[in-house]
Homo-oligomer: A and B are copies of this chain.
Amino acid sequence: MMIRIGVSARHVHVSDEDLRILFGDGYKLTKKVDLSQPGQYACNEQVVLEGPKGVIQKVRILGPERDKTQVEISRTDSFVLGITPPVRNSGDLEDAAEITIIGPKGKITKNAAIIATRHIHATSMDAKKYGFKDKEFVSIVVKGEKGGILENVYVRISDKFSFEAHLDTDDANAFLINNEDMAELIIK
């Protein structure tokens, strides 16, 4: 079966509390553009990421606000910053790397940085149709001059989702994948 690829650039999810620190009391996120997953959007707001070795400017916040602030970066980014984030599913900040997030009104330092696990979003209809289960791992086959197989792609099922595989920019750039490319999904 074929699946659309969404390439996730580095980004930040913020809690209400941290948003106030970064942008000031009473600040609300403003939508720049809707993302492919229903209800998710890229914001106009950007922050700076700082680690012991370097900084990365203009990192976009994705809305809406979440319970916990989470910074999703690539391994390439982690070398620039000088931190060692673990590979984690979104929402799992166990052993997340310490990072400083700088906004126009303030900054926070917390253990919030992860490299996102490769994953697919699917509805229960997609799962039934294609024969995979929530929380199992599947693989993605990519054609082309730098093709191959991306393994350990985590399946997340929710009827709020749109069927799509999310890869980070390291995976995309290694395999010459562009956002919205189609690739083959294989179940073990």
A interface with B by C-beta (< 8 Å):
74-76, 79, 87, 115, 117-118, 139, 145-152, 168-171, 173-176
Contacts and interface: CB of A to CB of B under 8 A. Distances in A.
Contact of A173 (B74, B147, B148, B175): B74
B176 A175 contact: no
A146 B174 CA distance: 12
28 contacts: A74-B173, A75-B173, A75-B174, A75-B176, A76-B76, A76-B170, A76-B173, A87-B176, A115-B146, A117-B145, A118-B146, A139-B148, A145-B152, A146-B152, A147-B152, A148-B148, A148-B149, A148-B151, A148-B152, A149-B151, A150-B174, A168-B174, A170-B170, A170-B174, A171-B174, A173-B174, A174-B174, A174-B175
A74 B87 CA distance: 22
Given A74-B173, A76-B170, A145-B152, 16 more contacts: A75-B173, A76-B76, A79-B173, A87-B146, A115-B146, A118-B146, A139-B148, A146-B152, A146-B171, A147-B151, A147-B152, A148-B149, A148-B152, A170-B173, A174-B174, A174-B175
